Structure 1
Amino acid sequence: MEPLTEHRPVNGPTVYGFLRLPKSAAARQTALTEALAEYCRNHELVLGAIFIERGTGANAHSAAFTGLLDVLDMPDVYGVVLPAASHLGPKPIAAERKREIAGSGVRLMLVRDSKPARRTPHRSRRRTPSSTPALDAET
C-alpha cells in the first residue's frame, strides 16, 4: 500500500498510544508497541508516545491514564490508538475512560476491533430451467 502523501515528508496527525499490561512479559509489550507503531505508519499518523498502565487498574485514573488525558489537552492531538478495546480496562472502567477520551474531542482508534466483521450470507445459486445454458440443436 502506497502512503497517501506519495513519500513526501509530511508530519501526519499526532496520536498517543495506551497499553494496559497488568501481568505481561517484555516480549508482549514489545509486540504490542510494534503493532501500534505499524498501525501508525500504515495510516500516516505520528505516534507521539505510548502510556503503559501496569497493575490491575482498580480505578479509572491511574497515573498512565491521567498522563494520557494530560497530553490530549495539547493542541493538534488527533487521537488515541489502542491494540484493542480491552486495553481500556474492565467494562465499568473502560466505559468511563471512553467518555473521558470522547470528552477531550479526539478520536479513539483500535488496531484490532473486537466486533467480528459482518458477513453477508452466501447464497447458493440454484439452477432453474431459465438459467441452464441453451445448447444449439446441432451440437
Structure 2
Amino acid sequence: MSALGQRDTEEDAQMATEAFEEIVEDFEFIDDWEDRYRYVIDQGKAMDPLDDALKVPATKVDGCASQVWLHPTIENGVLTFDGDSDAMIVRGLIAVLRKLFNGLSLAEVLAVDARAELERLGLNEHLSSQRSNGVRAMIERVRLVASEG
C-alpha cells in the first residue's frame, strides 16, 4: 500500500459501484470540460441538502478550502454517507464520491483506489490544487470511518 493507504496494484483495487460507472460512461460522451463541470454541479444539486443539525465540527472535513460536511452511516457493515458544501462544485464532488462509495461494505470501501477511479474521470488534471486537496481530505475521512467501523 502507498503512504495514503491506497492499493498499489490494479488487481487489488475494488471495482467502482454501478452508480459511479454510470458517471464514467456519461463523461465519455461529454467532451467539453465546462460541460463536465456542469454535470458534476448538477449531481450535487440533485442531492438532498444535509440537515443543518448535522453540520457540526464532528462532521466538518478539514483540509478543504470551502465548508464541507460528511455524515457517514454504517448499517450491517455497509457504509453510506450524506454530505454538503457551501461551494457548488464541491457539493458535486461529494455527490461523485457518494456514488463511488455508498452501498459498499467497509472492506470494499478500503479496497477502492479512489485516486485511480477519479482519474478515470480526468478530474485530477482539471481541479485546482485546493480542490484536489479537498477531495483527498474527503476520501481520507471516508476511509477513516470505514477503517474504524
Is the TM-score greater than 0.5?
no
TM-score by length of 1: 0.33
Which structure carries more relative contact order (alpha carbon 8 Å, separation 6+)?
A: 2
Specify which structure has the higher proportion of strand: 1
Whose radius of gyration is greater, 1 or 2?
1
With the length of structure 2 as denominator, give the TM-score of the two structures. 0.31
